[in-house]
Copies of this chain bind each other. A is one copy, B any other.
Amino acid sequence: MIKVGIVGGTGYTGVELLRLLAAHPEAQLTAITSRKEDGLPVADMFPSLRGHVALAFSAPDKVDLSQCDVVFFATPHGVAMAQAPALLAAGVKVIDLAADFRLKDQATFEQWYKMPHGAPQLLEQAVYGLPELNRAAIASASLVANPGCYPTTMQIGFYPLLKAGLVDAGSLIADAKSGVSGAGRKAEISTLFSESSDNFKAYGVSGHRHTPETTAQLQRHTNQKVGLVFTPHLVPMIRGMHATLYARLTSPIDDAALQALYEAQYRDDAFVDVMPFGSHPETRSTRGSNMLRLALHRPPGSDMVVILVVQDNLVKGASGQAVQCMNLMFGLPETTGLQQIALLP
Contact = CB atoms under 8 A, between A and B. Distances in A.
B193 A180 contact: yes
B239 A198 contact: yes
A343 interface: yes
Given A47-B282, A175-B244, A343-B48, A194 B201 contact: no
Given A202-B242, A206-B299, A289-B48, A177 B180 contact: no
Contacts of A235: 200, 235-236
A92 interface: no
Nearest to A300: B207
A256 B12 CA distance: 34
A102 interface: no
Interface in A180-213: 180-181, 183, 185-189, 191-203, 205-207
A248, A291, A344, most chain B CB atoms within 10 A: A344
A198 B240 contact: yes
Contacts of A216: none
A287 interface: yes
Contacts of A194: 12, 179-181, 183, 185, 191, 238, 345
A206 B22 CA distance: 34
B306 A23 contact: no
Nearest to A277: B206
Copy number in this complex?
Answer: 4
B300 A200 contact: no
A275 interface: yes
B192 A298 contact: no
A173, A240, A304, most chain B CB atoms within 10 A: A173
B341 A173 contact: no
A47 B285 contact: yes
A331 interface: no
Interface string A275-286: 100101111111
A297 interface: yes
Contact of A203 (B196, B233, B280, B289): B280
A308 B206 CA distance: 12
A237 to B, nearest CB: 4
A12 to B, nearest CB: 6
A227 interface: yes
Nearest to A205: B297
Contacts of A191: 192-194
B201 A198 contact: no
Given A231-B244, A297-B205, A297-B206, A198 B281 contact: no
A333 interface: no
Contacts of A197: 180, 193, 197-198, 236-238
18 contacts: A15-B344, A19-B343, A48-B284, A177-B200, A185-B192, A187-B189, A191-B194, A193-B196, A193-B197, A198-B284, A200-B242, A202-B308, A206-B278, A206-B297, A207-B300, A229-B302, A236-B236, A288-B343
